[in-house]
Homo-oligomer: A and B are copies of this chain.
Amino acid sequence: MAQGLIEALTQALQRLPGVGPKSARRMAFHLLVRDRDGGRRLGQVLLEAMERIGRCSQCRNLTEQDICAVCSSPRRDHSLLCVVESPADVQAIDQASGFQGLYYVLHGHLSPLDGIGPEELELDRLTARLGSGEVHELILATNPTVEGEATAHYIAELARERGIRSTRIAHGVPMGGDLEFVDGGTLRQALLGRRDYGA
């Protein structure tokens, strides 16, 4: 059993996305030889996080509380609701954009071929939220993919039935890029979505 625990550690590290056998082995040896404190710290935080982090009862984002800091903040605009696919999207938007409304995390997108319909995404919770009268604008920030667009379309319909305005984030050329390397679909969207200069 001399290799037992090292092997077990190498296996467990491969549960991380993007980590194969070779990187896992390198990580295991690195922690064991050079950074035992780091290894201990990571072990403790992992156990604590898996135990204590749940979903916000309002927006379904990951949080340690019953209601997350965003949803419970009085400085946020509660009439503006931004629908995203994942907790990572919330973090990306919140860090980058100065958006001051609330979020709603779907934890996925509609994908009939994979058996993911409105029930699996628990869209009835979102519907209830839209029916509360608090939300005046629904921002559809699902991914610009086929599934993301379909999901946005479906949710926009839910909003329309309740007389709530829904908007979609702009598609177009990313900032700082080189036009020649932008794909055709994006370029088409950028031309279709063109706006008066200086407006």
Contact = CB atoms under 8 A, between A and B. Distances in A.
A102 to B, nearest CB: 13
A40 B4 CA distance: 18
A49 B4 CA distance: 10
Contacts of A107: 33
Contacts of A43: 42-47, 50
A9 B51 CA distance: 12
Contacts of A16: 13, 27, 30-31, 38, 42
A17 interface: yes
Report, as a range, how many residues of chain A touch the other chain: 35 or more
Contacts of A50: 31-32, 36, 39-40, 43
Contacts of A4: 64
Most chain B CB atoms below 10 A, which of A31, A32, A41, A43: A43
A8 interface: yes
Interface in A147-168: none
A17 B33 CA distance: 12
26 contacts: A1-B64, A2-B63, A2-B69, A5-B49, A6-B62, A8-B49, A12-B38, A13-B42, A15-B35, A15-B38, A16-B27, A17-B27, A18-B26, A25-B88, A25-B91, A28-B49, A29-B87, A31-B46, A31-B50, A32-B49, A32-B53, A33-B62, A33-B87, A36-B50, A39-B49, A43-B44
Given A6-B49, A47-B47, 13 more contacts: A1-B69, A2-B65, A6-B53, A9-B49, A12-B46, A16-B31, A16-B38, A25-B91, A29-B86, A31-B50, A39-B49, A40-B50, A43-B45
